[in-house]
Amino acid sequence: MTAGVSRLRPILIIASTTVIAMVPLAMGQAEFVSVIGASFAITVIGGLTLSTLLTLVFIPTFYIGLEDALKWFYSLNWKNKLIQLILFTLMIFLIYTYIDKFLWKLITTILTIIIIPSGTWFVMNSLRKARETVISTDENINIYIQSLVKIYERENRWSREWKAGARIRKRLGLERQYNSFKDMGQIAWQVPLLGYIIYFTYFYLDKGFWIFLFSMGTWFILSGIWTSFSKLITNLNAKRERRWLKTMSGILDIVVFWIIPLLNLIWFLHKWENLVVVLILGILWFSGLLIYKTGQKLTRENIDIYRLEGRFKGLRKTFYKIVAVVPLIGKKKKPFKALSCVSLNIGNGMFGLLGPNGAGKTTLMRIICGILEQSYGKVWINGLDTQKMREELQGLIGYLPQEFGSYENMTAHEYLHYQAMLKNIIDVKTREERVTYVLNAVHMEERRNDKIGSYSGGMKQRMGIAQILLHLPRILVVDEPTAGLDPRERIRFRNLLVELSRERVVIFSTHIIEDISSSCNHVAVLNKGKLRYFGKPIDMTKEAEGHVWQFNIPSRDFGVFVEKHLVVHHMSEGDNVRVRVISEFSPWEDAVNATPNLEDAYLWLLRRKNFPGSVNNEKSN
Amino acid sequence: MIVYNLRIIFANKFIWFLAGSVGFYMGLSVIYVFSNDVSKMGDLYGVFLFSGLLLVFYPSVFGVQNDQDARTIEILFGIPNYRYKVWLVRIVLIFAIAFIIMLVFTFLSSVLIVKFRFVNMTAQVMFPVLFLGIMSFMLSTIVRNGNGTAVLMIIFGLFFMILSDGLHKSQWNIFLNPYELPWDVNETTWAIIALKNRIILVTGSIIFLLAALYNLQKREKFM
């Protein structure tokens, strides 16, 4: 690899200079040149380009892949090796018996070399793993969440790697700046290239298809140069406002992005004389441009598609929605950090996740269950990495999402049997016993044969719990299970979870304080993706000590006061109002400290600005 | 497992596509029965192909979206090896059901219209049905919207049909009709072209299936 990297520059210099030197000869049209010289030059250009690509890209990539594949192949047992060798021999026999053309023999042989081992790997790494027991039944479960970060709408790995160089240059301040005309020297080399490609495309080439292809390339180079100039104009205007420069920039922008493609289409029509093809190309080209420009506008102006105002808002909304989903040229996605370096340690018992909407509770739960992949950090279950052993560990987890449904045309009996089968409960007797057990546990046995579509909200919620209990999971993760339930149903549900937590880990999220205080051994408070508290609920009240105040305030002052302070509750007492306030400092002259309860502590944790969170976490861990 | 999966596959609008397929087949069969002209195998192949495509279209295009609409997708993602246990099983069942229904159609035609080897005909029809069905399933895992996938599949279908005119004797023709022997190609060459075409369709189907299963791993995009 080091040898390859150190040879990169000399190989590229030799190849590119030779190719450039050969171009005039390759384009020669005089009789004595076109017979031998041009074909010689074209062969050299093609051969050199291909061999450069092979040397710099294909061979190193293939070599690294082959090395890994061989290492994996040697680690297999003899049965798997034998099966693959037999398959490989069979495929080679079929290829050389039934395929005549050399090119197809070559392609199919390469495909065979790739597909047989990768297919075996694919099969070996999937079905088998779900049946493996990785944690014995007598071992206590412990979940360790280590510096977990989740960023939604994050670019994929390929894009990140592609832009890594630019990011490093930006960080080091080595990014290209266009502040004066002198800075344009950095792109001066592109001007002769543009001149050459214009000549080659519009004056040298004859065939319509190639003209089309190269005209696209020409346009991309031109728009690249224009983008640099446009940055220069913006920077010059920022220093000193010049109206003519701004107007010219606007006009040139229209010329480059709209007029030149139109001129290209007219040129194609002149060359091809095929209106239908030119029209189709035109529609595609201009649609792409429109999507690109609208996408840029949506990103630049941070437009909320769902809150549009003004004329044609329905039409605009539909178009913007299309632009938002078009990959590459559509609206640029804005990364959003949902979890920020969260570390927790969860053992047996009830564990509550408390936080307002959008705090990151659901994201955290989904990552624990392997539904989502984290961006950074790790989740360990008894020391096993959940990213590496997702399928094995999922057998231990029962997850009930916040918003879930079921197949409403099925009865509870059918749905639970289907879910049980998916969870590897294949034996009919065991399955029937398990279905009856979970239906009894959630008090749904009498509605067993009714269609799920006919159930009330609470009954559907109980069905959800029944379904996650089927395989007797050792970790239960339930996301806001009590939301939308009536008080009696909520208490019954909470008691069921407490009962289940005696022999397993139960993680449940809520924004109802009472659920935590009456059931959880440990609680974590999340706000805006950050951990605000982790420990016992009873200790949480200590966090708010000295920050809860009670006092009487005249009714006339209350309106102004309530806008500036966090009032937990208030009650009228004659001309005064008795208030309870959360505040770092005394909010009123007669204010006295009150004993905080869990709700006060929760509100204080959400409001508090300075967090000794890390110290608290370390202590708790 | 099969029964429960069938209940899921047969839910929603599938019944309309099934009715459409049966209606289309019945309508054309009645015309053929009362026609004086002896029906050609090539024409029958076309009828069966369209009926087969109607059968697999809805479940393969709308399958993933139905789970999203029913809000079961997150629960399914929590099941180990959900790709195989849920979607692979369902896609296999869709084609098994389509094969059985097509067997009934071809059998009826072989009795009522003109005698032919109905199992052979069904197998031949199933190749393009399999290819286009799995292609639409793969597209549905990329687009993640049933209507969007349906529009794309119609565009691709039209594109393949336009191409089939120019490629009518080529192994690359998706709609190659093995029962329509071109006048300027001998039978042996035609049999080889048809075989190669079927190998291409099966290979394409396998690649599309693997791509679809791979796409289903990108769980974040489905939620």
Best residue in B1, B74, B214, B219 for a mutation probing chain A (most A CBs within 10 Å): B74
Helices (H), ranges, A125-254 = 157-162, 164-171, 190-199, 208-239, 243-254
For the stretch B149-169, pLDDT in tens is 898 898 888 888 888 877 778
- Tell me what pLDDT residue A52 has: 92
Please state the rounded mean pLDDT for residues B108-129: 90
pTM of the model: 0.79
Nearest to B8 among A152, A394, A407 (CB): A407
Distance in angstroms (rounded) separating the CA atoms of residues A261 and A216:
9
Please state the rounded mean pLDDT for residues A584-606: 84
Question: Residues of B with CB below 8 A from A418's CB?
Answer: 1, 4-5
A576-582/A566-573 β-pairing: antiparallel
Distance in angstroms (rounded) separating the CA atoms of residues B125 and B49:
6
Question: Is B210 or A326 the better-scoring residue by pLDDT?
Answer: B210
Q: Compute the count of residue pairs across chains A and B with CB atoms less than 8 Å apart.
A: 80
- Tell me what pLDDT residue A612 has: 55
Q: Please check the confidence at residue A146 and state whether its pLDDT lies above 90.
A: yes
How many Cβ atoms sit within 10 Å of the Cβ of residue A420? 21
Question: Residues of B with CB below 8 A from A391's CB?
Answer: 80-81
Closest residue of A to B5, CA-based?
A418
- Tell me what pLDDT residue B200 has: 92
Closest residue of A to B11, CA-based?
A409
C-alpha distances (whole Å) from A151 to each of A341, A343, A373 are: 11, 16, 10
- Tell me what pLDDT residue A365 has: 94
Please return the burial class of A458, using the count of CB atoms within 10 Å of its CB with bins 0-12, 13-18 and 19+. middle
For the stretch A48-88, pLDDT in tens is 999 999 988 888 888 888 888 889 889 988 998 999 999 99
Chain B, 181 to 210: residues with Cβ < 8 Å from chain A are 210
Indicate the DSSP class of residue A138. Answer: T
- Tell me what pLDDT residue A367 has: 94
Are A419 and A467 a contacting pair, CB within 8 Å?
Answer: yes
Contact A395 B80 (CB under 8 A): yes
Please state the rounded mean pLDDT for residues B22-35: 82
Q: pLDDT band for A131, please (50, 70, 90 cuts).
A: low
Distance in angstroms (rounded) separating the CA atoms of residues A485 and A89:
63
Contact B84 A126 (CB under 8 A): yes
C-alpha distances (whole Å) from B139 to each of A87, A284, A543 are: 30, 21, 53
B44 CA: distance to closest CA in chain A (Å): 30
Check if A423 contacts B (Cβ < 8 Å). Answer: yes
Which residue(s) pair with A411 in the sheet? A451
Angle between helices B41-69 and B14-34 (to 10 degrees): 170
Q: pLDDT band for A339, please (50, 70, 90 cuts).
A: very high
A469's tokens:
């209990």
pLDDT-above-90 percentage for chain A: 21
Are A350 and A498 a contacting pair, CB within 8 Å?
Answer: yes
Nearest to B11 among A126, A407, A467 (CB): A407
For the stretch A319-338, pLDDT in tens is 888 888 777 787 777 888 99
Q: Please check the confidence at residue B38 and state whether its pLDDT lies above 80.
A: no
Indicate the DSSP class of residue A54. Answer: I
Closest residue of B to A127, CA-based?
B81
- Tell me what pLDDT residue B64 has: 86
DSSP-based three-state secondary structure for A376: strand
- Tell me what pLDDT residue A513 has: 83
Question: Which of these ranges, A15-19, A486-490, A498-502, has the smallest mean pLDDT?
Answer: A486-490
A478 CA: distance to closest CA in chain B (Å): 11
Check if A373 contacts B (Cβ < 8 Å). Answer: yes
DSSP-based three-state secondary structure for A205: coil
Phi/psi of residue A475, nearest 5 degrees: -130, 125
Contact B81 A417 (CB under 8 A): no
Contact A422 B70 (CB under 8 A): no
Check if B147 contacts A (Cβ < 8 Å). Answer: no
C-alpha distances (whole Å) from A577 to each of A390, A551, A569, A588 are: 56, 8, 10, 13
Contact B84 A127 (CB under 8 A): yes
Question: Residues of B with CB below 8 A from A397's CB?
Answer: 78
Distance in angstroms (rounded) separating the CA atoms of residues B180 and B165:
13
For the stretch B49-89, pLDDT in tens is 999 998 898 889 988 888 888 888 888 998 888 888 889 99
Nearest to A405 among B71, B80, B84 (CB): B71
Which DSSP string corresponds to A266-313?
A: HHHHHHH--HHHHHHHHHHHHHHHHHHHHHHHHHHTT--GGG--STTH
DSSP-based three-state secondary structure for A339: strand
Strand order in A336-346's β-sheet?
A336-346, A143-152, A376-381, A384-385
Check if A94 contacts B (Cβ < 8 Å). Answer: no
DSSP-based three-state secondary structure for A129: helix
Are A376 and A147 a contacting pair, CB within 8 Å?
Answer: yes
DSSP-based three-state secondary structure for B51: helix
Whole-number average pLDDT of chain A: 85
Question: Is A418 or A175 the better-scoring residue by pLDDT?
Answer: A418
Contact A371 B78 (CB under 8 A): yes
Closest residue of A to B2, CA-based?
A418
Question: Residues of A with CB below 8 A from B188's CB?
Answer: none
Indicate the DSSP class of residue B166. Answer: H
For the stretch A165-215, pLDDT in tens is 888 988 888 888 888 888 888 888 899 999 999 998 888 888 777 888 899
3-state secondary structure labels for all residues of B105-144: HHHHHHHHCCCCCHHHHHHHHHHHHHHHHHHHHHHHHHHC
C-alpha distances (whole Å) from B160 to each of A574, B21, B124, B176, B200 are: 83, 21, 18, 10, 14
Please state the rounded mean pLDDT for residues A44-51: 93
Q: How many residues does chain B have?
A: 223
Nearest to A409 among B7, B71, B223 (CB): B7
Q: What share of chain B is helix, strand, coil (3-state, %, to 5)?
A: 80, 0, 20
Q: pLDDT band for A501, please (50, 70, 90 cuts).
A: confident
Chain B, 51 to 70: residues with Cβ < 8 Å from chain A are 70
Q: Please check the confidence at residue A606 and state whether its pLDDT lies above 90.
A: no
Which residues are CB-neighbours of A365 under 8 A, at least 6 positions away? A353, A399, A477, A479, A507, A509
Nearest to A409 among B5, B11, B210 (CB): B11
Q: Please check the confidence at residue A144 and state whether its pLDDT lies above 90.
A: yes
- Tell me what pLDDT residue A23 has: 87
- Which of A470, A422, A420 shows the shortest CA–CA distance to A442? A470
Question: Residues of A with CB below 8 A from B4's CB?
Answer: 410, 414, 417-418, 421
Q: Please check the confidence at residue A523 and state whether its pLDDT lies above 50.
A: yes
Check if A467 contacts B (Cβ < 8 Å). Answer: yes
Are A264 and A201 a contacting pair, CB within 8 Å?
Answer: no
Q: Please check the confidence at residue A620 and state whether its pLDDT lies above 70.
A: no
Question: Residues of A with CB below 8 A from B214's CB?
Answer: none
**Which own/partner contact pairs does A117-123 have at CB distance under 8 Å and 24+ positions apart?**
A117/A69, A117/A72, A117/A73, A117/A84, A120/A80, A120/A83, A120/A84, A121/A72, A122/B210
Question: Which of these ranges, A179-183, A361-365, A504-508, has the smallest mean pLDDT?
Answer: A179-183
Which residue(s) pair with A376 in the sheet? A149
Dihedral of CA atoms B31, B36, B39, B43 in degrees, nearest 10, equals -50
Question: Residues of A with CB below 8 A from B210's CB?
Answer: 122
- Tell me what pLDDT residue B137 has: 94
